[in-house]
Structure 1
Amino acid sequence: MLFLDVDGPLLPFGEDPQRAPRGTTSGSRLAQLTSEVGNRLAALPCELVWATTWEEEANSEIAPRIGLPRLPVVSWPEPTDQHKREDRWFGLCWKTRTLVNWADGRPFAWVDDEITDADREWVSKHHSGRALLHHVESYRGLADDDFTVLDRWCRTL
């Protein structure tokens, strides 16, 4: 299973610290989506799952633009106050607990621009299956190297 974020991995945003600023609007960001990225995602030997704040909109706005079918969508429950405090304390991404619960012990890869070492450590302690938490720079989006890593990891299962 591959949990897939939209903003950052599929729709790059922000500034590359090594380059001059660029202007982008949400419309021009959507125009960046191509069937090539959809074909590359579909070729990965895993089940794709939207793990994004776009939720169902990812199926209506993103999937058709990149040639993917409707995908399962992670719904984000409201975290408890205790979890909010713990997540801040441990430096966890707000998605981490939900994705581990969704995976329910099954192997998963997660592609996101918010993943940190704190998330990797937490998942290794709280998830019984294999997991790959793959950080993608928000200004760059998914690139050839990322697809290579994901494909190799999925094929080792």
Structure 2
Amino acid sequence: MRALIFLDIDGTLLPFGGEDPYPVHQGPNGPPPAGHPLLDRVDPALGPRLLALGCVPVWATTWLDDANTLLAPWLGLPPLPVVDVASGTEDPPPGGRHWKTGPIVAWAAGRPFVWLDDEITGADRAWVAAHHPGPALLHRVDHRHGLREADFAVVRAWLRDAGCAPAPPRPA
């Protein structure tokens, strides 16, 4: 079964709070379209790298559908499903877990998943372990740098160990 991969944007794909100035990226067609002043901080090569993991990508961000309008084209991604994480923001959840945790687990509905975010804590990991019957990797990304090769290596290793790695390509 293909694992889901829940993607946060701010601090995960879009680094902030670290080195300034940040690298400015060019896409295959030049700079990003107008719409978000920091979009050029997002490396467009992340899109193909995320797809190569063999997971089903899902937005888990307060950007909601703006992620498909603004960021997906820049990353070369098709429109992705969006978890309504805003539904968990009215009252802070008990136990210090993130307000996205419940909506993500509900959306996963028992399927294996990876969640990439810069705000994951031990409280989220404990809650998911107690409330999600399938395998799950909650991986905290350093918000100062965003998603890097070391993060991809952790995800690839987890997918392999959880039996969710993509099938090797078939010979032509």
* TM-score of the pair, normalised by structure 1: 0.85
CA distance in 2, matches of 1:120, 1:80: 19
What residue number does 2:48 align with?
Answer: 39
Q: What is the CA RMSD across the aligned residues, in angstroms?
A: 1.8
Q: 1:152 to 1:31 in 2, by over 3 A?
A: same
CA distance in 1, matches of 2:98, 2:118: 10
Which amino acid is 2:108 matched to? A
2:57 equivalent to 1:48: yes
Q: 1:90 aligns with which of 90, 95, 101?
A: 95
Q: 1:129 to 1:65 in 2, by over 3 A?
A: same
How many aligned residue pairs are there? 146
* TM-score of the pair, normalised by structure 2: 0.78
What residue number does 2:25 align with?
Answer: none
Unpaired runs of at least 5, structure 2: 23-35, 165-172
Which amino acid is 2:154 matched to? V
CA distance in 1, matches of 2:66, 2:151: 24
Structure 1 vs Structure 2: percent identity of aligned residues? 49
Unpaired runs of at least 5, structure 1: 16-20
User: Which segments of structure 1 move beyond 4 Å, counting only runs of 4 or more?
Assistant: none
Which structure dedicates a bigger proportion of its chain to helix? Answer: 1
2:85 aligns to what SS in structure 1?
coil
What residue number does 1:124 align with?
Answer: 129
Q: 1:111 aligns with which of 101, 112, 116?
A: 116
Shift in Å at residue 42 of structure 1? 1.1
2:87 aligns to what SS in structure 1?
coil
CA distance in 2, matches of 1:11, 1:23: 13
2:84 equivalent to 1:75: yes
